[in-house]
């Protein structure tokens, strides 16, 4: 994005247009003692000096271009087609603001419509919004939907400990003070054990697909058991995995939520990301975000409109149950472009590569003395490795001596998994990189 500074004449014209004589007058509402505090800023630099300093800071970062990456745990290194960035950089898409005027927003509306349509096809759900800030926010919004679907009479939520720990922390922060009880995530439980926690006060049960450890659990019959008790089922699903395995809709879920970052969005030091949200038609009027629909204009031509803008504070503020307003429109656009470029076959190929490469890595690491892979359940692109030394120590050696960013230390969130590393392998990891990791782990353990 180009930066074009205002000239003095530009500033004078703008100030005259709003009826003030100086920029200082714009701050009259701020008490004088707080208006212009002294800031201990360094001396100004020229553009050349600033660029030199920024390049120096950039060189200190461990980027995926310079290191092999085997760290996942919620954010993943996937291939991003170059066409995505070229389309995102068009000026028409720079704002994520709600397109209230369809006659001047057809491009944005169509982009959102296509994203929602592809997301429904991917998740097997009947409706999808656009969108939330990240996967954790989407899960929190799903809980709000479940409580409102039960008309506030059920305020107990069963959360699996297999859901990303950061998601569960965000959920508790999001819903503090709303008289919601959370159970189930004090330890890892099977789906059958989670069902035992469901009672007539439960509004929703949420599980991860795959779970935080990369494992794929058997959810056969789970939805039927919950629905017989009028309890909703939410799956926190990896969208890449849905290119290869059963969709949440096929598993009977009422809502599918998760992180859309794997769909053409770079790691970017943690954001901005995309919280996708899809649900059954029954729940569509209780969700937040935007629902874009297709119709015909007065000339019979295809046209796009905002069909639903449910539960927002700007409609009936006193009855709103969510304050989500401006959405992650640019990120939804990126995900929509990615899905359209990959198509069904492309997405399936990516998912299959993740599956096959992660299993190759697991088999090779499992052969190493002192290392053992957890094969107790099927896994997708992440797997657990029991290590002969502390994970932090191994990761430090991998980075310093071999240029490899290692896996996630599960002991940070699961005390019973000391010395256990969570490794992620995607289509971006070559066989040579995997073999180099295996050789490095063997040397470190020796």
Question: Of the residues 306, 339, 372, which one is the last residue of a structural domain?
Answer: 339
With respect to residue 237, please indicate whether it lies within any of the assigned structural domains: yes
Question: Of the residues 309, 339, 369, which one is the last residue of a structural domain?
Answer: 339
- pLDDT score recorded for residue 310: 61
Task: Tell me the CATH number at 398.
Answer: 3.90.1150.10
With respect to residue 46, please indicate whether it lies within any of the assigned structural domains: no
- pLDDT score recorded for residue 222: 98
With respect to residue 431, please indicate whether it lies within any of the assigned structural domains: yes
322 plus 381 within the same structural domain: no
With respect to residue 4, please indicate whether it lies within any of the assigned structural domains: no
Strand order in the sheet with 408-409: 372-373, 382-386, 420-424, 408-409
- pLDDT score recorded for residue 214: 98
User: pLDDT tens, position by position, for the chain (446 residues)?
Assistant: 466 788 999 999 999 999 999 988 999 999 988 888 889 999 999 999 999 999 999 888 878 888 999 999 999 999 999 999 999 888 777 765 667 777 778 888 999 999 999 999 999 999 999 889 999 999 999 999 999 999 999 999 999 999 999 999 999 999 998 999 999 999 999 999 999 999 999 999 999 999 999 999 999 999 999 999 999 999 999 999 999 999 999 999 999 999 999 999 999 988 899 999 999 999 998 998 888 999 998 899 999 998 887 655 555 666 677 767 666 788 999 999 999 999 999 999 999 999 999 999 999 999 999 999 999 999 999 999 999 999 999 999 999 999 999 999 999 999 999 999 999 999 999 999 999 999 999 999 98
72 plus 90 within the same structural domain: no
406 plus 308 within the same structural domain: no
Domain total for the chain? 2
Question: Of the residues 339, 362, 393, which one is the last residue of a structural domain?
Answer: 339
Provide the domain limits for residue 153.
Answer: 82-339
140 plus 120 within the same structural domain: yes
- pLDDT score recorded for residue 93: 79
- pLDDT score recorded for residue 317: 67
Q: pTM for this one? A: 0.89
348 plus 439 within the same structural domain: yes
306 plus 403 within the same structural domain: no
- pLDDT score recorded for residue 326: 61
With respect to residue 239, please indicate whether it lies within any of the assigned structural domains: yes
239 plus 275 within the same structural domain: yes
277 plus 394 within the same structural domain: no
With respect to residue 52, please indicate whether it lies within any of the assigned structural domains: no
241 plus 253 within the same structural domain: yes
With respect to residue 117, please indicate whether it lies within any of the assigned structural domains: yes
With respect to residue 61, please indicate whether it lies within any of the assigned structural domains: no
275 plus 133 within the same structural domain: yes
- pLDDT score recorded for residue 325: 62
228 plus 179 within the same structural domain: yes
Task: Tell me the CATH number at 238.
Answer: 3.40.640.10
């Amino acid at each position: 994005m180009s930066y074009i500074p205002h000239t003095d004449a530009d500033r004078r014209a703008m100030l005259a247009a709003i009826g003030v004589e100086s920029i200082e007058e714009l701050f009259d509402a701020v008490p004088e003692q707080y208006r212009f505090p002294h800031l201990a800023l360094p001396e100004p630099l020229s553009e050349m000096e600033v660029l030199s300093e920024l390049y120096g800071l950039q060189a200190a970062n461990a980027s995926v271009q310079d290191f092999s990456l085997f760290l996942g745990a919620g954010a993943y290194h996937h291939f991003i087609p170059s066409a995505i960035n070229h389309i995102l950089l068009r000026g028409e898409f720079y704002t994520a603001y709600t397109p209230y005027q369809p006659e001047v927003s057809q491009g944005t509306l169509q982009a959102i419509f296509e994203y929602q349509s592809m997301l429904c096809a991917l998740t097997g759900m009947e409706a999808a919004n656009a969108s939330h800030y990240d996967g954790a926010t989407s899960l929190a919004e799903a809980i709000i939907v479940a409580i409102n679907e039960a008309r506030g009479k059920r305020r107990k939520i069963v959360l699996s400990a297999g859901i990303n720990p950061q998601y569960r922390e965000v959920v508790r922060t999001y819903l503090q003070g709303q008289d919601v009880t959370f159970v189930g995530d004090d330890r890892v439980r099977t789906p059958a054990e989670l069902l035992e926690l469901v009672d007539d006060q439960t509004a929703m049960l949420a599980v991860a697909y795959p779970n935080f450890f990369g494992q794929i659990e058997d959810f056969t019959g789970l939805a039927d058991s919950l629905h017989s008790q009028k309890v909703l089922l939410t799956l926190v699903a990896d969208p890449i995995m849905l290119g290869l395995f059963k969709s949440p809709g096929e598993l009977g879920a009422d809502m599918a939520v998760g992180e859309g970052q794997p769909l053409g969005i770079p790691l970017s030091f943690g954001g901005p990301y995309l919280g996708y949200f899809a649900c059954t038609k029954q729940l569509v009027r209780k969700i937040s975000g935007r629902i874009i629909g297709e119709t015909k204009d007065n000339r019979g031509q295809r046209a796009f409109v905002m069909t639903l803008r449910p539960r927002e504070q700007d409609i009936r503020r006193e009855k709103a149950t969510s304050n989500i307003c401006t959405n992650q429109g640019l990120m939804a656009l990126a995900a929509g472009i990615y899905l359209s470029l990959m198509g069904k076959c492309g997405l399936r190929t990516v998912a299959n590569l993740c599956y096959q490469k992660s299993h190759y890595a697991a088999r090779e690491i499992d052969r190493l003395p002192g290392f053992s892979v957890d094969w107790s359940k099927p896994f997708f692109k992440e797997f657990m490795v029991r290590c002969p030394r502390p994970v932090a120590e191994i990761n430090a050696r991998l980075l310093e001596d071999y240029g490899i960013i290692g896996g996630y230390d599960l002991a940070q969130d699961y005390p019973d998994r000391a010395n256990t590393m969570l490794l992620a392998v995607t289509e971006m990891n070559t066989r040579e990189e995997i073999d180099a990791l295996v050789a490095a782990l063997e040397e470190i353990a020796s």
